[in-house]
C-alpha cells in the first residue's frame, strides 16, 4: 500500500467519525436559527421538521454510502451545488447548511483520490462557502433585526 492510499484511508476513517457529530450539529444549528427567524409556530415547526428529516437522511444514508466508495465526487458536488443554489432563496429551510456541510465532508474524503480529486476539492470549497453563506445570512439578519 502506498503512502497516498494510506493517507487517503486515514483521512476517510477520520472523516467517517465526523458524520454523526456533523449531522447533529447541522440539525441543531438549523433548528435554532429557524426558531429564531420564524414568524409563527407553523413556520418553525414545519421547517424544523424538514431540517431534522433532511439531516437524518443525508447523514444517516447518503454520506455514509458516499464515504464507502473510494471517491464520491459527483455525490459531493451534487450536494454542494444544491446547497449553493438554495442559500439565498431558501436559507430558511436549513437545507443549505445540511447539504453544504455534507458536500464538504464527502468532498474532503475524495480530495486525495486518484480519480475525481479535482471535483471533490471543488465540492469541498462550494459546500464550505454554502455553509458560510448560510451562517452569514442569519448572523447579519440577527444583528440587524436584533434576534442575536
19-57 tens-digit pLDDT: 999 999 999 999 998 888 888 898 889 989 999 999 999
Average pLDDT for the chain: 87
Terminal alpha carbon distance of the chain = 51
148 versus 74: which is more confidently predicted?
Answer: 74
pLDDT (average), residues 5-28: 77
By CB atoms closer than 10 A (0-12, 13-18, 19+), residue 41 is exposed
5 versus 126: which is more confidently predicted?
Answer: 126
- Contact status, residue 86 vs residue 95, Cβ threshold 8 Å: yes
Instruction: Compute the distance between CA of residue 95 and CA of residue 83 in angstroms, rounded to an integer.
Output: 7
pLDDT (average), residues 121-130: 97
Domain that holds residue 46: 3-145
Angle between helices 3-16 and 95-110 (to 10 degrees): 160
Given this model, what pLDDT does residue 2 score? 45
Instruction: Compute the distance between CA of residue 43 and CA of residue 47 in angstroms, rounded to an integer.
Output: 6
How many domains would you assign to the chain?
1
Is residue 6 predicted with pLDDT exceeding 50?
no
DSSP state of 89: T
Amino acid at each position: 500500500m502506498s503512502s497516498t492510499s494510506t493517507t487517503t484511508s486515514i483521512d476517510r476513517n477520520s472523516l467517517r467519525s465526523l458524520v454523526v457529530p456533523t449531522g447533529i450539529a447541522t440539525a441543531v444549528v438549523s433548528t435554532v436559527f429557524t426558531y429564531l427567524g420564524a414568524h409563527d409556530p407553523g413556520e418553525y415547526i414545519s421547517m424544523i421538521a424538514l431540517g431534522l428529516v433532511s439531516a437524518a437522511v443525508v447523514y444517516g444514508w447518503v454520506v455514509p454510502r458516499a464515504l464507502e466508495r473510494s471517491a464520491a465526487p459527483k455525490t459531493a458536488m451534487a450536494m454542494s451545488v444544491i446547497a449553493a443554489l438554495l442559500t439565498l432563496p431558501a436559507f430558511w429551510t436549513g437545507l443549505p447548511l445540511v447539504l453544504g456541510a455534507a458536500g464538504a465532508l464527502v468532498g474532503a474524503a475524495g480530495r486525495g483520490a486518484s480519480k475525481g480529486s479535482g471535483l471533490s476539492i471543488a465540492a469541498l470549497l462550494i459546500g464550505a462557502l454554502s455553509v458560510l453563506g448560510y451562517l452569514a445570512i442569519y448572523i447579519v439578519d440577527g444583528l440587524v433585526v436584533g434576534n442575536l
